[in-house]
Amino acid sequence: MKVRVHVSLKPGVLDPQGRAIHHSLEGLGFSGVRDVRAGRLIELDVDDATSDEALDEMCRKLLANMVIENYRIEKVPAAEASA
Amino acid sequence: MKVRVHVSLKPGVLDPQGRAIHHSLEGLGFSGVRDVRAGRLIELDVDDATSDEALDEMCRKLLANMVIENYRIEKVPAAEASA
């Protein structure tokens, strides 16, 4: 089973990486960009028997820093994963 | 308009960060993890008038390294973005 974990900074947390990307986009001449936030995407390939609780625990213990980050778990349908 | 850009390494490209995460998950006692790949998630807030071509160009010029990475652009529906 393929699982995507989206980790993003909580609102209000300073994001220097996002600001650098924003600045660079403007430097390249792209106008109309109002805000940029940088996060992480972690793709896991786990056994089908893996429970939601186990996935949740992986995120809380290792993948996300719960003090400053939020996470979202997305299970990828088999059809999309093999495409 | 909120746009999410998912940047992930192309298949076959060595991913030391993903391997370190995999190793740590096993060290924490999580079994059943077969593979881990680490990528980036970039959330953009752009003007509604921004064209798909402009978004594509941002990815190719700055957000992704086309030699070793793939990207996927996902437009976030307004309802979800404000939630």
Q: Domain residues of chain A, as ranges?
A: 2-82
Give residue A65's identity as a one-letter amino acid code. Answer: N
Nearest-CA distance A31 → chain B (Å)? 9
Nearest CA in chain A to B37: A43
pLDDT value of position B7: 97
pLDDT in tens, A9-68: 999 999 999 999 999 999 999 999 999 999 999 999 999 999 999 999 999 999 999 999
Order of strands across the sheet with B69-76?
Answer: A69-76, A2-9, A33-46, B33-46, B2-9, B69-76
The pLDDT of residue B79 is above 80 = no
CATH architecture of B2-82: 2-Layer Sandwich (3.30)
pLDDT in tens, B8-66: 999 999 999 999 999 999 999 999 999 999 999 999 999 999 999 999 999 999 999 99
Q: Distance between the two ends of chain A, CA-based, in angstroms? A: 14
Interface A–B counts its CB contacts (< 8 A) at 99
DSSP for residue A79: H
Q: Which of B15, B35, B43 is most worth mutating to test chain A (most A CB atoms within 10 A of its CB)?
A: B43
Here the ipTM equals: 0.87
Cβ(B42)–Cβ(B63) under 8 Å?
yes
Distance, in Å, from the CA atom of B21 to the CA atom of A10, rounded to the nearest integer, reads: 22
Contact A45 B57 (CB under 8 A): no
pLDDT value of position B40: 97
Contact A39 B42 (CB under 8 A): yes
